[in-house]
Structures are given as structure tokens and as C-alpha cells.
Amino acid sequence: MAGIRVEGVARSFGEVHAVRNAAFEVEPGTVAGLIGPNGAGKTTLLLMLASLLAPDSGSIRIAGYDPVTEPHQVRRRMGWMPDTLGSWPTLTVRAALATSGRMYGMSSDAASDRAADLIGLVSLDPLADQPTRVLSRGQKQRLSLARALVHDPEVLLLDEPASGLDPAARAALRELVRKLAGDGKTVLVSSHVLAELEEMADTAVYLADGETAAPDDVARAGQAARGWRIRSLDADRLSAALEAAGFGAVAVVDRFGAVVPFASEADAAQMLAHLVGVGVPISSFAPAVGDLEHVFHDLNRQGGEA
């Protein structure tokens, strides 16, 4: 059980260096978010992990096997959900999943059983015997996820799995991914909807301009000052109190309340105690952005300044 190991991976297309230097590990039983702005090389990196694209340099191990020299072993153990949603248009959902199963060497019966299970798992039961071309985007997304799971892989690579899903389906996806990790699978999820990753990822891999951020940078970014959103029933008293506490210059006051930067959680806690102490009616006090987004923006800012 080796999860995903990536060391010094680079890949260019002609003059374009899509991935310059990617290095990270994902342990079995964990969910890692792959985070980066558009064009950062997320999909290219996933294609290399999925044994479809050979890296120019560096090494990759999926469940302990090299996708370049032992693609067959990797494909047995790896499920990939692409960002482009293709399906055989005239096949029914059931037949499409069974066919995928048979492509992994399952017998007809085993593949049919597996297809039936997966249809239930991704809640496509009412559409099971419809041709896949009638599916909506979100439904195709769920079919694509089911296909990635068809051979019960150890390692799952999900490229933008949540785009196009309604809130209920997102919640179901989150639960499913957590459950898979609980079963000991290794999951790598790419997305730029950070709030969503926040809820399912144990760790994160930050990719910008084709380079993964070093762990030190990530740690530092996590500790940098961040904004906290404060809401009060009485906005005037809140801004007056902030002014009095010396945050008047840095607080951004708007009609929702105020966003105030604090260097640490301890500072934030202290301020909350103070505001409550002076009688400001606080209704909400929370980080303005999630942890992942906070690090993401901070790393991007560092990258911009460098």
C-alpha cells in the first residue's frame, strides 16, 4: 500500500512548460486536494498519474508501480475520472458501466453486478436503462465517477469531480470520498472550488505555474495574517468598538459587517472576548476564507511578488 508518490516531475508541450517541478506524496486512507489556479498544470499532472502521459523527467509511483514502465499494474489499481465527460452515447447507463467493468477483465456477470451496485451508489437508478446521451451534465459527472470506481481501485484520481453537481449530489460526493478514504483508498481530488475541498480533503497539494509549493511555504502561508468576518446586530457599535481597539485603519467595513485581519487565532479569540465584553451584539465571528483558500491566495501573492 503505497498511495501516490511524485518526485521532480516535469512535462512540457513544445515551448509550454505545463508542469515544471511537482513533488508530493499522498498516503493511503487520505484524501488530498490538488489546488491551483486555471492553467497551473493540474490536468496535465493527473494525466501523468493516470498513465496516459509520460513525464519528461521525474518519477511517479501509483500504488507502488511506475505508470510509464508498468502501466498495466497501475491501471489495475487506479481509477481516473477525467475533466472531459465522455460516454458512449447510445449505450444505456447500465451497459456503459458493465462494458467498463469488462474492460478491466471482469466476467459479464461480475460486471453487470458491479454496474448495478455503482448505479445505486451514485443514485442514477431512475436513469439506469436510458441511453447516456440523455444525461445532464451533473448526471454524466456521476456516471463518470461510477466508471472510475468500477474495478474498486486503490488509488482514485478525480479531476474536477464536483463541477456541475447540485448541492445534494455534492454532499453525496463528499460522503462517498470520505468513505472511500475510510476504506483505505488513496484519493487525489483536483478542484478550484476550494470551499468544497475544505470539507473533504485531509491534506492539500498546491500547484502554481507547474510547481508544487514546498511544505515550508505552505506552513508559512497558513500562519500569515488572515481576515476574519465579524457580524453584529448593531453595525455602528461594532465599527466604533473596532476603532477604539485600534483596528479602525485595517478593518474593512461593509453592509455585512466587517473583515478584520488577525495575525493568529489567539488574537482573534482575544478580540472576540473584548467585543463581547464591551457589549457589541456579535452574531457571527469566523475566518473570512477557508484554510485552503487562505493558503492558496497567500501562495499566489508570494508567487506574484517573487
In the bound complex, what is the minimum distance in angstroms from residue 294's beta carbon to other proteins? 32
Is 103 among the residues that bind other proteins (CB under 8 A)? yes
β-pairing, 31-35 with 186-191?
Answer: parallel
Cβ proximity of 61 and 31 under 8 Å = no
Identify the CA nearest to 214 among candidates 14, 8, 72.
Answer: 8
Q: Which of 48, 146, 230, 251 binds other proteins (CB under 8 A)?
A: 48
Q: Does 223 bind other proteins (CB under 8 A)?
A: no
C-beta closer to other proteins: residue 146 or 204: 146
Q: Which is nearer to other proteins, 85 or 201 (CB)?
A: 85
Applying CB under 8 A, the site for other proteins has a residue count of 37
Q: How far, CA to CA in Å, does 158 sit from each of 42, 65, 142, 250, 285?
A: 11, 19, 12, 40, 34
What is the three-class DSSP state of 62?
A: strand
Residue 38 C-beta: closest distance to other proteins, Å:
16
Distance in Å, CB of 133 to other proteins, minimum: 10
82 is a contact residue toward other proteins (CB under 8 A): yes
Q: How far is the CB of 83 from other proteins (least distance, A)?
A: 8
Residue 66 or 209: the one with the smaller Cβ distance to other proteins is 66
Q: Vertex 162, ends 158 and 163: CA angle to 5°?
A: 110
Contact with other proteins (CB under 8 A): which of 61, 94, 142, 147? 147
Q: Which of 21, 59, 99, 163 binds other proteins (CB under 8 A)?
A: 99
Question: How far apart, in whole angstroms, are the C-alpha atoms of residue 194 and residue 134?
Answer: 30
Residue spans of beta strands (DSSP E) within 100-225: 155-159, 186-191, 203-208, 211-212
Among residues 30, 51, 139, 232, which is the contact residue for other proteins, using CB under 8 A?
Answer: 51
Of residues 7-26, those binding other proteins (CB under 8 A): 13-14
Q: Which of residues 153-212 bind other proteins (CB under 8 A)?
A: none
Helix (H, G, I), strand (E, B) or coil at 199: helix
Provide the minimum distance between the beta carbon of 161 and other proteins in the complex, in angstroms, as a whole number: 14
C-alpha pair distances (Å), 178 with each of 174, 185, 202, 238, 262? 6, 10, 10, 40, 32
Q: Is 39 in the site for other proteins (CB under 8 A)?
A: no
Q: Which residue number, 159 or 298, has a Cβ lying nearer to other proteins? A: 159
Asked if 90 touches other proteins (CB under 8 A), the answer is yes
d(CA 68, CA 108) in angstroms, rounded, equals: 30
φ, ψ for residue 57, nearest 5 deg:
-155, 170
Question: For residue 170, what is its C-alpha cell?
Answer: 455534492
Q: How far is the CB of 224 from other proteins (least distance, A)?
A: 37
Q: How far is the CB of 14 from other proteins (least distance, A)?
A: 6
Residue 150 CB, nearest approach to other proteins (Å)? 9
Contact between 105 and other proteins by CB under 8 A: the answer reads: yes
Q: According to CB under 8 A, which residues from 126 to 145 bind other proteins? A: 144
Q: CA dist 5 to 39, 119, 212, 219, Å?
A: 22, 31, 13, 20
Q: Which residue has the cell 468544497?
A: 196
Which residues are at the interface with other proteins (CB under 8 A)? Answer: 13-14, 47-48, 50-54, 67-68, 71-72, 75-76, 78, 80, 82-91, 95, 99-100, 102-105, 144, 147, 151
